[in-house]
Amino acid sequence: MKKYIIFLILISASLFFNSCKYDFILPEEVPVIEPGGDPISFESQIAPIFSTGNKCTACHKTGGFASPDLSNSATVYSQIVPKYVDLASPASSKIYTYSTSGTHNNLKVSATQSVLLLQWIKEGAKNN
C-alpha cells in the first residue's frame, strides 16, 4: 500500500511538473547608440526600413495615393528630407512619428528601427 501511494505521488508530481510549459518572450534587443560611434547610414540602415518588411510601400509608391513616395531608392531621400524631418525636435519628425506611433494604419517599425531612425535624424538626417 505504501509503495502504491508513493507511486501515485510520483505520477501526480510528474504530471504536475510537465503540465506547465513556459515560452519566454524575450524583449527585442535594441542597439545602444554610443557617443562618437559610427554614423547611421541612410542608404543601408534607414531606406530599407520603408522598402522592406514594414508595408509602407504598399501605399507610398510611385503613382500611389499616399505621399511621400517611399518606393524609389533614387528619390526616397528627397521625398523625406526636409519635409518630414524636424532637426530641431527629432522625435517630432513626421517620418518618425508615423513610423513608430502605431496609429498610422496600425503599423509600427521594430524597436531597433525606431532607435536607428531617431538617431539618424539627430545626426542631421544626412544622405549618406
For ligand HEC, the binding residues (CB under 6 A) are 50, 54-56, 58-60, 66-67, 84, 94-95, 98-99, 104-105, 107, 109
What letter would DSSP give residue 67? S
Biggest CA-to-CA distance, the chain: 83
Which of 67, 72 has the CB closer to ligand HEC? 67
Which grid coordinates belong to 113?
528601427
Which of 14, 103 has the CB closer to ligand HEC? 103
Which grid coordinates belong to 79?
521625398
Question: Residues 52, 53, 57, 59: what is their CA dihedral angle, to the nearest 10 degrees?
Answer: 180
Nearest-approach distance from CB 91 to ligand HEC, in angstroms: 14
Both ends of the chain: CA-CA distance in Å? Answer: 79
Which of 108, 122 has the CB closer to ligand HEC? 108
Nearest-approach distance from CB 73 to ligand HEC, in angstroms: 15
